Amino acid sequence: MAIRGIDFPNLVLMDALDLAILVEDEAQERYEEFAAQMEQHRTPEAARFFRFMAENEAKHGRELTARRRQRFGTAAASVSRAMLFDVEAPDYDAARAFMSSRKAMEAALACEVKAHDFFDQALPAIRDAEVRGLFQELRAEEVQHQTLVAAELAKLPPDSGLSDEDFVDPPAAQ
């Protein structure tokens, strides 16, 4: 279950907005972590892509935050990160040392699909009209993001088909 402790039928707009912000937050953090991992393991192209994704998530987060502030000011949030479990953030399992840009983008694409499915599956239970509207909007955005990432993917030259293992050093014992 990607999210815990949320009563979807009774979800109100403020909480929904806060949740959406946290989803972006979680994803941004994860992409930044991935970027750091890629840098640590000398995989610069994937690192650059993950930084790009992190910035995207940050931008969406900022937009949603602005909307939330406009509508609800600085009222304390009643939802928290503890309720989220990789809603839009890539699974830790998705990263690999020496991963190609293609693989990195495929991981991001999978996240957009994951997030889309989350909003899609949550929608039928939502009763509040404004929240429904928000979720539909967010679902549509995920489709947009998928298109964007797919476009980036298409620009990539095809993978060589050769295995990394044939080129890279074997692992070092510690």
Interface residue list for other proteins (CB under 8 A): 1, 4, 33-34, 36-38, 40-41, 43, 81-82, 85-86, 91-97, 99, 171-174
Task: Report residue 102 as tokens.
Answer: 């293609």
Q: Give min distance, CB of 6 to other proteins, in A.
A: 12
Closer residue to other proteins in complex, CB, 62/81:
81
Closer residue to other proteins in complex, CB, 154/173:
173
Q: Give min distance, CB of 75 to other proteins, in A.
A: 18
Q: Give min distance, CB of 133 to other proteins, in A.
A: 28
Q: Give min distance, CB of 39 to other proteins, in A.
A: 9
Closer residue to other proteins in complex, CB, 36/75:
36
In degrees, to the nearest 5, what angle opens at C-alpha 136 toward C-alphas 131 and 140?
A: 150
Residue in the block written with tokens 């910035």:
55
Q: How many other C-beta atoms lie within 10 A of the C-beta of residue 51? A: 17
- Which residues fall within 8 angstroms of residue 130, CB to CB, at 6 or more apart? 13, 16
Closer residue to other proteins in complex, CB, 38/134:
38
Q: Positive or negative CA dihedral for 128, 131, 136, 142?
A: negative
In a 10 Å sphere around its CB, with 0-12 CB exposed, 13-18 middle and 19+ buried, how is residue 29 labelled?
middle
